[in-house]
Structure 1
Amino acid sequence: MTPRNWFITGVSSGFGRIMAEQLLARGDRVAGTVRNLSVMDELKAKYRSQLWCAKLDLSETAAIRGVVDRAFAALGHIEMVVSNAGYGLMGAAEEMTDEQVRHQIDTNLVGSIQLIRAALPHLRAQGGGRILQLSSMGGQAAFPGGSLYHATKWGIEGFLDAVAQEVEGFGIGCTLIEPGGARTDFRHRSAQLAPTLDAYDASPSRMVNRIIADDSHPSPGDPAKMVAIMIASIDETPAPRRIALGSDAYHVMYAQLSARLAALEQQRELACSTDFPPEEGDENAPPWFAPNGVRSNAESQ
C-alpha cells in the first residue's frame, strides 16, 4: 500500500491518538495538532519524520489557517483531513456559564468550520481529497443535559452536509463520523460539567452527571475498531456521507429519526396548506428550491 498523508486535530488522546498510532504503524505520515506538544514526545521519538506536530487550540480560530498552511507545506500533499478535536460540555442549559457556552461553540463548531474552510483551498489545488468530521450520535439525537454539545454537533452536521455538495465537483469527499459511547477518556477527562443549580436536581438533565460520575457501566464501543472503520472509509467511492459506529448509536439514532419522520408525515397536509394556490403552468415550472434539481414528494404530488 502506498503511504498516505493525513492531517488530524486532537491527536493527544481518544480517537485522534488511536488513529495516529494506527496510521503511523502502517507507514502513513501524520500531521497532528495538540494543545500541549510534550504529550507527543514518545510518538515523535518512535516515528520521527513520519510525524509532524503543531500546537493548536481550536477555540483560537485565528491560528487555525496558519497551522493548516504549514502542515500542507511540510508534507507537500495531504489526502485526508480529519477534524477530530473537541469535547463535551454537559449540564442543563441554564446552568452553564456564558464563558462555557462560548468556548464549547468556538471549539466544536466554529473551530471545526474554520479548519475545513482552511483545508479546502489546498484540497482543491491538489485535485481532491477527503474530509472526515467527528460528530456523534448526538449529532442526530438529543438528550437532556447535552444541549450545548448537541448544538455544536447538529450544527457541524448541517455545515458539512452542505459543504459536501459544494465541493463534490472538485473531487473532495466529506464524511460525518457518528460514534456512540466508546471506551476512550471522553467521559472522565474530556467532558466538562456545568455548575449545578438546585432547581435542576429533579430534572432529567441530571442523567449526564450520573453517567460521568459512574465508572461501573463502561461504554460499549471499541475505539480501535471504530478508528479502523474510519480509516477504511477513505477507500470507499463515493465517500459515505455518514458512518454510524456502535450499537447504541444505531439504536438511538434509529429511534429518534423514526419518531421525527413520523411526526413530519403527520404534518404533511398542514405544511402544504400554507402554499399559495398553484397558477396555470406551475406544474411545468422548476421548483423554487430543490438541491440537485430533485422535487420533494410534496412538490411532485
Structure 2
Amino acid sequence: MKTWFITGTSTGLGRILTEKLLAQGHTVAATVRKPNALNDLKAQYGDRIWVEKLDVTDTLQIKEVVKKAFADLGQIDVIVNNAGYALFCAAEEASDEQIKQQIDTNITGSVQVIRAALPYLRAQGSGHVLQLSSAGGQTTYPNFSYYHLTKWAIEGYCETLAKEVAPLNIGVTIIEPGAHKTSFATAMVTAPIMDAYDNTPAGDVRRAVEAGSFPIKGDVNKTVQEMINCVNISPVPLRLALGGDAYRDMRAALATRLEALDNQKDVAMASELKD
C-alpha cells in the first residue's frame, strides 16, 4: 500500500480517486478548499485520510501544507496535482483577472506543489508525480485558449522535470484524460460573450457545449484505476492518455504537426550554417 498526496479532492476526479484509493487500503493526504468537504470519508476511514485546507494559488500555504503532510505521515509515495479548472471563452472575451487566475491555478499552483514536494522525495529516495493535464495538453478546441495555455505549459514543464529527476528515482507521469462525466464541465468559468465571435468556431463550440451535443464516453472509474495502476509500471510512463477521444484527437493533432514539420524540412535545413 502507498501514501498519496492529492490536491483538489472535494469533487470530480480528485474525489473519486481518493475514494477508490481508500477503498483499496491506501492512505491519502487530501487537500480541499472547503474544510468539511471530506467529513464523510474521514468518519469512515479515520487516520487513513489526512485532510488539510489548501488554495493552490497561495504558494506559502502550499509549502506549509506539504511540509505538514510529510511531517505527519512520513513517507509520501505519490504526489497528484489534480486541482484545476477551465476558463471557457474566446481569447478576446476573457478579463485580465480571469487569465491570471487560470494561470495561477493550473500552472503556478501545480509547479509550486511539485517544487515543495521535491526535497522530501529526494530525501526519501523515491516518489512519483502524477500531473493532471488533458487531451487539451496536446490538441486544441476553440473557446479553450487559456485552458490550453496552462495544459501545454505544464506538459512542457513536466517533460523537462522528468529528465531531471529520473536519476533520483522520482518518476513523472502526465495524465491526459478526454471528456468524462465529472463536475469539470459545470465548474467551467465563462466570460461575457462578444457578438463578433457568434458565427465563428468559438461560437459553434459554445452552442454545442450548451446543448450537450458532445458525446462523453470516458469511464471515470476505469480512468481513475488506470491512474492508480500506472504508479506500478516500469519504466515510468511519461504520458498516459485516457479515453478513446483523447487518443484519437491527440493522434490526429500530432500527425498534422509532424506532416507540417516535414513539409518545412527544406526551409529548416536551408537556414542552417554550412560547414
2:243 pairs with 1:246: yes
* 1:259 aligned partner: 256
1:217 deviates by 4.8
- Residues 218-237 of structure 1: matches in 2 within 5 Å? 218-237=215-234
Percent identical across equivalent pairs? 49
- Unpaired runs of at least 5, structure 2: none
Structure 1 unmatched runs, 5+:
279-301
Q: Distance in 2 between matches of 1:170 and 1:198?
A: 53
CA-to-aligned-CA distance 1:9-46 (integer Å, 9 cap, x gap): 01111111111001001111000111001111111111
Q: What CA distance in whole angstroms lies between the structure 2 residues aligned with 1:192 and 1:257?
A: 28
SS at match of 1:38: coil
1:53 to 51, 54, 74: 51
Structure-2 separation of matches of 1:216 and 1:121 = 46
The CA distance in 1 between the partners of 2:205 and 2:87, in whole Å, is 10
Contact residue 183 and residue 218 of structure 1 kept, 8 A: no
Normalised by the length of structure 1, the TM-score is: 0.89
Q: Aligned to 1:74, what secondary structure does the other structure show?
A: helix
Q: 1:65 aligns to what?
A: 63
The answer on whether the counterparts of 1:145 and 1:207 sit within 8 Å (CA) in structure 2 is: no
The DSSP-based 3-state class of the residue aligned with 2:185 is helix
User: 2:171 is matched with which residue: 135, 152, 173?
Assistant: 173
SS at match of 2:236: coil
Q: CA distance change for structure 1 residues 240 and 202 in 2, over 3 Å: closer, same or farther?
A: same
Deviation at 1:216, TM superposition (A): 6.0
Equivalent residue, structure 2, for 1:92: 90
- Aligned-partner residue type, residue 213 of structure 1: E
* Aligned-CA RMSD value: 1.1
CA distance in 1, matches of 2:99, 2:203: 18
Match of 1:80 among 78, 81, 87: 78
For residues 195 and 61 of structure 1, the distance between their equivalents in structure 2, rounded to whole angstroms, comes to: 30
TM-score (norm. length: structure 2): 0.97
Matched residue SS, 1:96: coil
SS of the residue 1:131 aligns to:
strand
Aligned residues between the structures: 275
Residue in structure 1 matched with residue 120 of structure 2 by the alignment? 122
Amino acid at match of 2:156: G
* Residue 6 (structure 1) aligns with: 4
Q: Contact 2:198–2:204 at 8 Å: present in 1 too? A: no
Over 3 Å counting, the alpha-carbon distance change for 1:186 and 1:207 in structure 2 is farther
Distance 2:115 2:205 in 1: 33
